């Protein structure tokens, strides 16, 4: 089990292929210290999502190991891994129910106060209060009544409440107005603080405040460094 994890993540000489003899990742070595934020960038098909798939154990590597705090994630129960590694996907998952329930999905036993504190911390509180029934406003599965930016903030609140040590974020590509964009960037800082994070980043503003930028090309790490180094 992964009990009190710190959040060091290591990809140790990883080789992975979805189909035989067509490697999607070749010899990936990546050492991430607890609390660091990593931006994964690269062209379509370069292997960004595949790295995430291995970290979530949606697939296991063909060669090499993924370690969290030095422990092979294959030796950990799936429940334990899920509670410590959180994902915010690009197409944010909203289900039919209240805004409150949607945020609480991060941690089912959270109190109303905890839900609201999480929403406040990621700049979602104001837009929620402007909805007809505030936190009790019902939203639909496709979340159509909410803008892309609002959905993103909602998913941040959910992730903050879940409080995983390792956070994976597939940043939305949809265009978002400048004001919301600023709110999201601010919220992102709050969300990432103190946890290890892997971000499939599409915005330069996001890439800029990551500690390490990993550039992938055809399943290989071409370069890495911080924004000033690259």
Site residues, Mg ion (CB under 5 A) = 48-49
Verify binding: residue 225, ligand ATP, rule CB under 6 A.
Answer: no
> Which option in Mg ion, ligand ATP, none does residue 24 bind, with CB closer than 5 to 8 A by kind?
ligand ATP
Residue 139's contacts (CB-CB under 8 Å, 6 or more residues apart) are 94, 96, 97, 98, 99, 102, 145, 146
For ligand ATP, the binding residue among 37, 46, 152, 155 (CB under 6 A) is 46
> Which option in Mg ion, ligand ATP, none does residue 46 bind, with CB closer than 5 to 8 A by kind?
ligand ATP
Verify binding: residue 18, ligand ATP, rule CB under 6 A.
Answer: yes
Stretch that binds ligand ATP, among 42-50, 67-75, 80-88, 137-145 (CB under 6 A): 42-50
For ligand ATP, the binding residue among 3, 44, 109, 130 (CB under 6 A) is 44
| CA–CA distances in Å: residue 53 to residues 47, 110, 178, 203 | 10, 28, 31, 21
DSSP reduced 3-state for 125: helix
For residues 3 and 197, the answer to whether their CB atoms sit within 8 Å is no
Tokens, residue 155? 């998913």
For ligand ATP, the binding residue among 2, 9, 24, 159 (CB under 6 A) is 24
CB nearer to Mg ion: pick between 42 and 149:
42
For residues 7 and 68, the answer to whether their CB atoms sit within 8 Å is yes
Verify binding: residue 193, ligand ATP, rule CB under 6 A.
Answer: no
Which strand ranges, in their side-by-side order, compose the sheet holding 22-32?
22-32, 9-19, 63-68, 71-72
Q: Where do contacts with ligand ATP occur on this chain (CB under 6 A)?
A: 18-19, 24, 42, 44-50
């Amino acid at each position: 089990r992964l009990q009190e994890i710190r959040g060091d993540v290591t990809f140790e000489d990883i080789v992975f292929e979805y189909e035989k003899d067509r490697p999607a990742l070749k010899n990936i070595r990546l050492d991430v210290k607890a609390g660091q934020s990593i931006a994964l960038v690269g062209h379509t098909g370069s292997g960004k999502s595949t790295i995430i798939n291995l970290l979530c154990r949606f697939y296991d590597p063909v060669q090499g190991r993924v370690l969290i705090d030095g422990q092979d994630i294959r030796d950990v129960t799936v429940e334990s891994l899920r509670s410590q590694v959180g994902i915010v996907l690009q197409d944010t998952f909203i289900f039919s129910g209240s805004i409150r329930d949607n945020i609480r999905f991060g941690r089912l036993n959270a109190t109303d106060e905890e839900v609201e504190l999480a929403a406040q911390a990621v700049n979602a509180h104001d837009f929620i209060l402007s909805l007809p029934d505030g936190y009790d406003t019902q939203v639909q599965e496709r979340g159509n009544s909410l803008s892309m930016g609002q959905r993103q903030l909602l998913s941040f609140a959910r992730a903050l409440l879940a409080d995983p040590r390792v956070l994976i974020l597939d940043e939305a590509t949809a265009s978002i107005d400048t004001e919301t964009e600023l709110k999201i960037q601010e919220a992102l800082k709050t969300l990432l603080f103190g946890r290890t994070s892997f971000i499939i980043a599409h915005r330069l503003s996001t890439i800029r405040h990551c500690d390490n930028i990993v550039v992938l090309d055809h399943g290989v790490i071409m370069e890495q460094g911080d924004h000033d180094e690259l």
